[in-house]
Structure 1
Amino acid sequence: MSLQQFVKILSVFTLATEACQPRASQFKMNTSLANWVHPDHLLFQSSALSRLGCAMQCSKTPSCVSFTYPGSLHTPGTCRGHSTRHFSVGDAQPTLRVSTYLMKEVEASNMAVHRPASQSSTRNHTATKANDGSFHNYATVNHSRRFQCTHTEAAAGERSWWQVDLEACYAILSVIITARADCCPERLHDFDVDVYDKDPEVYPGASFTRCYHYVGVMPAGVTEELVCDNKPIVGRVVRITDAPGEYLTLCEVQVMAVP
């Protein structure tokens, strides 16, 4: 998924101070009236999808501009995608009566820049270096580029981490990491990218959803986009956790998301 790619997705998210509480937005139509849907407008029907999964299937289906779904954001149910946003009974017998949602075109953007960042420990290079908007990937080459990346301590058997609080709940699509170029690429390997709906530093044991598990060593100096398992994850805190016993150095982290 490139930075310029447009994503068609349901707007069902909201800001929360502690946990992400999904809600239907202004794009949810007449749920109290429960629209009738004409069978001729049906593009697809899938079972065992969450409302978020239903939105993503509609986004990938040509001509799909709305969908009907009876369940909640994460509860599996029967998803039906439609080619119109205007519904009428017409001559045929309607097939269902449920809530209707409209899709909109949105562009994912970096929600991490200049947001509060922290890390498990600090060795000269502070956590904010990874989301300051600078894409220099040299940590300590010369004075003009000095301290452009983060740097934690390392302890045997312990996993170093870095995290950013987006300060609101977003649908997170991918995380883009710029690796250090001047030293030690072998340190950044087999790491996890996780999404929390509240800060695990404040709420120890907070649940998370795995966005991506990186296998192997990330090459020196690269900028690589890690797409969250082909689906958006609703959350506000993104944490990157390295393999045990390693220093963690990140030169820039972008969190591509939509409100």
Structure 2
Amino acid sequence: MAHFLPSLLFMVVLGVALVDSYCVEKGKNIAPEGKPSQISVYHANGNAVNAIDGNREGTYRMKSCILTKSDSSPWWRLDLHEPQRIGAVVVANRKDCCWDRLKGAEVRIGNATRNQNPVCGTITETEPGLVTRLCCAGMVGRYVSIVIPGREEILNLCEVEIYPEGIEKPCV
């Protein structure tokens, strides 16, 4: 029995470690190397390229956020030019207004241009300026899209970072 308890304790600790969520990411954000687009542009200050400018500033008037018109299932998409193995996608929400618009947005990764690729994750929490990291576990694709499916909405977000598969770090 004395030998059984340490083994059981080891298995319990190991089991917890195995079910814990990990993001697989490298230090370099590859999003700036891609070509961004979006369904529409509400205002000249809300262009697709703003989401990969390296600036998480969440105030729209600072010209670092994207903003679409009110569209059915609005989207923002990044063409990485060739399929990549994605470890994590980080999305920074707007902080000055309208942060709840991003709730329910799906991050999709794949090789189809029509935003019907597999879902890496869904943004479920929205707060002013909240940064969400979604673990994509090595999904492969040329395109990374953020889509608000099934509703008429304005899409706004302020930064998208994409990290290829690499070293393991805890997903927060």
Question: Fold match, TM over 0.5?
Answer: yes
1:112 and 2:28 matched: no
Aligned to 1:130, the other structure's residue is in SS state helix
Cα displacement string for residues 34-58 of structure 1 (whole angstroms, at most 9, x for unaligned residues): xxxxxxxxxxxxxxxxxxxxxxxxx
How much does 1:207 deviate? Answer: 5.5
Larger radius of gyration: 1
* Structure 2 Cα separation of the partners of residues 185 and 170 of structure 1: 29
Aligned to 1:255, the other structure's residue is in SS state strand
Report 1 or 2 for greater relative contact order, CA contacts < 8 Å, sequence distance ≥ 6: 2
When the two structures are superposed, what TM-score results if normalisation uses the length of structure 2? Answer: 0.74
* Structure 2 Cα separation of the partners of residues 112 and 208 of structure 1: 18
**AA partner of residue 42 (structure 2):** R
1:195 and 2:102 matched: no
Higher share in strand: 2
How much does 1:128 deviate? Answer: 0.5
Question: Structure 1: any 5+ residue segments left out of the alignment?
Answer: 1-59, 61-105, 201-205
Q: Does the 8 Å contact 1:117/1:162 carry over to 2?
A: yes
Cα displacement string for residues 212-243 of structure 1 (whole angstroms, at most 9, x for unaligned residues): 1223x411112221112xx2101110000025
- Specify the alignment match of 1:168 in structure 2: 82
How much does 1:199 deviate? Answer: 2.7
Aligned to 1:208, the other structure's residue is in SS state coil
Question: Structure 2: any 5+ residue segments left out of the alignment?
Answer: 1-17, 19-24, 167-172
- Specify the alignment match of 2:132 in structure 1: 224
**AA partner of residue 214 (structure 1):** I
Aligned to 1:122, the other structure's residue is in SS state coil
Q: Does the 8 Å contact 1:108/1:258 carry over to 2?
A: no
Q: Quote the RMSD (CA, aligned, Å).
A: 2.0
**AA partner of residue 210 (structure 1):** V
Matching residue within 193, 196, 208 for 2:117: 208
Q: 1:108 to 1:198 in 2, by over 3 A?
A: farther
- Specify the alignment match of 2:155 in structure 1: 248
Moved over 6 A (4+): none
How much does 1:167 deviate? Answer: 1.1
Q: Does the 8 Å contact 1:170/1:235 carry over to 2?
A: yes
Within 5 A, what are the aligned runs for 1:61-76?
none
- Identity, % of aligned positions: 28
- Specify the alignment match of 1:138 in structure 2: 59
Q: Does the 8 Å contact 1:114/1:128 carry over to 2?
A: no
**AA partner of residue 192 (structure 1):** E
1:239 and 2:145 matched: yes
How much does 1:114 deviate? Answer: 4.4
**AA partner of residue 56 (structure 2):** F
* Structure 1 Cα separation of the partners of residues 30 and 85 of structure 2: 10
When the two structures are superposed, what TM-score results if normalisation uses the length of structure 1? Answer: 0.50
**AA partner of residue 151 (structure 1):** L
* Structure 1 Cα separation of the partners of residues 139 and 79 of structure 2: 15
